[in-house]
Chain A
Amino acid sequence: MSFIIPVGLVMAVGIVSGGMLTIAAKYMSVKMDETAANILDALPGANCGACGYAGCEDYANALAKDEEHVIKTNLCTPGGSAVALEISNILGVDFEGASSKFAIMKCSGTRERTKYNMDYQGPPTCKANKLFFRGRGVCEKSCTGFGDCVAVCNYDAIKIINGIAAFNKDNCVGCGLCAKACPNQLIDIVPETTSVVVGCSSIDTGKVTRQNCAIGCIACKICEKNCPADAIHVFDNHAVIDYTKCTNCALCAQKCPRKVIHIIAKGYILSEDATAATAETLITEKTQEDAPAQ
C-alpha cells in the first residue's frame, strides 16, 4: 500500500491548486465592459491602427467609455460600412455611413521608364536604401522597389511588379499602413469614389524629370488649365489632385501629354481596353479568382 501517500499527495496538490484557481477566478475576476467586448467582436481585429487608436481593443474601449458619443463609429476603414453600422447599433447612435478607402501609387517609374543610379548591395529595405544617397532611383521620389509596403500589408494587396509597388484594389482596405511605411511618401489613401490618379511625385523640374523618367510629370500645367472643377494643381513640380473637388471627369487624364494621369476603371479590374499605363502601374492581379477569399 506504499503508493497511497505519493498518489494522495499529488492528488491533494492538484485539488488544492485547482480549488484555489477556481476561487480566485470567481472572486477576483475583472468584468470586461460588455459594450467594449461586443464592439471588439464587431471589429475586424487587424490591429492596423487606421482608426487612430493602438489596435482594435483600444478603439473598442474608447468607444465604450465615450458616453456622449463624441468618437465616431466609422473610423474603422478596413471594416467599412458594415462594421460602422454594427458599432452604431451596439451604441445606439445614428449610423453616419462610412466611405471605404483604398491606396494609390503616386509613381509610375517601372524599370523600362526610369533607371537606377547605383548597384545597391545594402540591406534590402526601402528605408535603408533611402538613407543611402536618397535611394537608388535616378528620380529621388521614385519607388525603390524593395517592398517595405508589401511587408507591412496585412491583406496581400501589394506586390512589387517590374520594380514598382502595384496595388490590388479588391484586397485593399485602406488601412494606410503602407502609406506610413513608404519613405518616399508615394502612397496615398483616397476615397472609394476616386477614379483619377496622378502617377508621379517628382520634385525635379520638368527638364530633369524628362531626362530621368519616360513618364514623369513635367509640371506643364495643362491639366490645371483644363480642369473644370479647379481640382488639380501643380505643387513641387508635379500635379496634385484635390479629391474633395474632383468630379472624376477624367479630362486631365485625356489632356496629359505625358500620360501620367491614370484613369482607374470602376471596380478597378484590369480590362483589355484600359490604358497600358493604368494596367501596368495600378493594377496587379489580372485574375480575380486567385485573390484569396476574405
Chain B
Amino acid sequence: MEQMLIILLSAILVNNFVLVQFLGICSFLGVSKTMDSSLGMSYAVIFVMVLCTAVTYPIQVYLLEPLGIGYLQTIVFILVIAALVQLVEIAMKKYMQPLYKALGVYLPLITTNCAVLGVAILNIDESYTFTQSLVNSLGAGLGYMLAMVLFSGVRGRIEHNDYPAAFKGIPILLITASIFSLSFMGFSGVITGIFGK
C-alpha cells in the first residue's frame, strides 16, 4: 500500500510529467487558456493514460518480450494507442453522449500526445507490476491535471497585464512555464523525506 502511495505521489509531484519530465508541453500550452478547457483536457488525459497502460502493458509482457522484439515497443505502442483512442471516441459517441460532449473535443488531441506514450513506456522501463503501472498512470494524469489547472489560473492573470509587446503570446507563456517548472523542482526529495526511503 505504501509502495502504491509512493508511486502515486512521486508521479504527481516529484516526476510531474509536464513540469519535470517536459512531456505533453504542446497541449499544456495550447489548451490551458481557460480553466474549463484545461479541466476537460485533463480528464481526457487521465482516462486515456490509464486505459492505454491497461492495454499496452499486456502487449509488452505477453507479446513483445517473449518474442524478443522489445525494441518495437515505441512503434507498436503508438499504433495501439492511436487506434484505441479512436475506438474509444467512436464507442463514446454511441453509448455515452454526455461524456463524449465533455471529452469529445480533446480526445483526438491526445491520440498523438507524447505524455500518453511516455507513461506507457516509462511503466515498462521502471519494471512496475501491472497494478503499479496503473497507479503510476493515474498519478501521471493527476499530475498533468495539477499542472494544467495551476497554469490556466496564472495564465488568466497574466493575459491582461501590460507587459512588453515582445513577450506577447507564447514567449511570456514559456517564461511562466519555466518558472513553474523551477518551483516543481523543489519537490525533489520530498518523497524520500516523508517515507524515509
Contact residues of A with B, CB < 8 Å? 5-6, 9-10, 13-14, 17-18, 20-21, 24-25, 28-30, 121-125, 128
Q: Is there an interface contact between A124 and B160, defined as CB atoms closer than 8 Å? A: yes
Q: B75-91: contact bitstring with A at CB < 8 Å (1 yes, 0 no)? A: 11001101110110011
Residues of A within 8 Å of B99, CB to CB, are none
Q: Is there an interface contact between A14 and B72, defined as CB atoms closer than 8 Å? A: no
Classify the interface of chain A: helix, strand, loop or mixed.
helix
Query: In the docked arrangement, what's the CA distance between A207 and B21, Å?
Result: 66
Report B117 CB to chain A, min CB distance, Å.
Answer: 15
Q: In B153-194, which residues have CB < 8 Å from any A CB?
A: 160-162
Query: In the docked arrangement, what's the CA distance between A30 and B89, Å?
Result: 12
Q: Is there an interface contact between B69 and A125, defined as CB atoms closer than 8 Å? A: no
Of all chain B residues, the one with the shortest Cβ separation from A18 is B83
Q: Is there an interface contact between B72 and A123, defined as CB atoms closer than 8 Å? A: no
Q: Is there an interface contact between A20 and B72, defined as CB atoms closer than 8 Å? A: no
Query: In the docked arrangement, what's the CA distance between A124 and B159, Å?
Result: 11
Residues of A within 8 Å of B93, CB to CB, are 28, 30
Q: B88-105: contact bitstring with A at CB < 8 Å (1 yes, 0 no)? A: 001101110000000000
Q: Is there an interface contact between A123 and B162, defined as CB atoms closer than 8 Å? A: yes
Of all chain A residues, the one with the shortest Cβ separation from B95 is A28
Query: In the docked arrangement, what's the CA distance between A125 and B76, Å?
Result: 50
Interchain residue pairs A-B with the least CB separation, the first 7 = A17-B83, A123-B160, A28-B94, A24-B90, A6-B69, A30-B93, A28-B90
Of all chain A residues, the one with the shortest Cβ separation from B160 is A123
Q: Is there an interface contact between A9 and B94, defined as CB atoms closer than 8 Å? A: no
Q: Is there an interface contact between B76 and A9, defined as CB atoms closer than 8 Å? A: yes
Residues of A within 8 Å of B86, CB to CB, are 21
Report A205 CB to chain B, min CB distance, Å.
Answer: 35
Residues of A within 8 Å of B75, CB to CB, are 10
Of all chain A residues, the one with the shortest Cβ separation from B90 is A24
Q: Is there an interface contact between A10 and B94, defined as CB atoms closer than 8 Å? A: no
Of all chain A residues, the one with the shortest Cβ separation from B83 is A17
Q: Is B63 an interface residue (CB 8 A)?
A: yes
Q: Is there an interface contact between B161 and A9, defined as CB atoms closer than 8 Å? A: no
Of all chain B residues, the one with the shortest Cβ separation from A125 is B160
> Contacts A6-B69, A125-B160 given; 14 further ones with Cβ under 8 A?
A5-B67, A5-B69, A9-B64, A9-B69, A9-B72, A9-B76, A17-B84, A20-B87, A24-B90, A24-B91, A29-B90, A29-B94, A123-B160, A124-B162
Query: In the docked arrangement, what's the CA distance between A125 and B156, Å?
Result: 14
Report A275 CB to chain B, min CB distance, Å.
Answer: 37
Query: In the docked arrangement, what's the CA distance between A124 and B163, Å?
Result: 11
Pairs across A and B, CB under 8 Å, 20 listed: A6-B67, A9-B64, A10-B75, A17-B82, A17-B83, A18-B83, A20-B83, A20-B87, A21-B83, A24-B87, A24-B91, A25-B90, A28-B90, A28-B91, A28-B93, A29-B90, A30-B93, A121-B162, A125-B160, A128-B160
Residues of A within 8 Å of B161, CB to CB, are 123
Q: Is there an interface contact between B72 and A6, defined as CB atoms closer than 8 Å? A: yes
Query: In the docked arrangement, what's the CA distance between A121 and B69, Å?
Result: 63
Query: In the docked arrangement, what's the CA distance between A217 and B10, Å?
Result: 67
Of all chain A residues, the one with the shortest Cβ separation from B92 is A28
Q: In B62-76, which residues have CB < 8 Å from any A CB?
A: 63-64, 67, 69, 72, 75-76
Residues of A within 8 Å of B162, CB to CB, are 121-124
Query: In the docked arrangement, what's the CA distance between A5 and B76, Å?
Result: 13
Residues of A within 8 Å of B90, CB to CB, are 21, 24-25, 28-29
Query: In the docked arrangement, what's the CA distance between A5 and B160, Å?
Result: 57
Report B99 CB to chain A, min CB distance, Å.
Answer: 14
Report B185 CB to chain A, min CB distance, Å.
Answer: 31
Of all chain B residues, the one with the shortest Cβ separation from A5 is B67
Q: In B127-163, which residues have CB < 8 Å from any A CB?
A: 160-162
Query: In the docked arrangement, what's the CA distance between A21 and B76, Å?
Result: 16
Report A12 CB to chain B, min CB distance, Å.
Answer: 10
Residues of B within 8 Å of A28, CB to CB, are 90-91, 93-95
Q: Is there an interface contact between A9 and B83, defined as CB atoms closer than 8 Å? A: no
Query: In the docked arrangement, what's the CA distance between A189 and B176, Å?
Result: 41
Of all chain A residues, the one with the shortest Cβ separation from B69 is A6
Residues of B within 8 Å of A30, CB to CB, are 93-94
Report B108 CB to chain A, min CB distance, Å.
Answer: 13
Of all chain B residues, the one with the shortest Cβ separation from A14 is B79
Residues of A within 8 Å of B63, CB to CB, are 9
Query: In the docked arrangement, what's the CA distance between A24 and B89, Å?
Result: 10
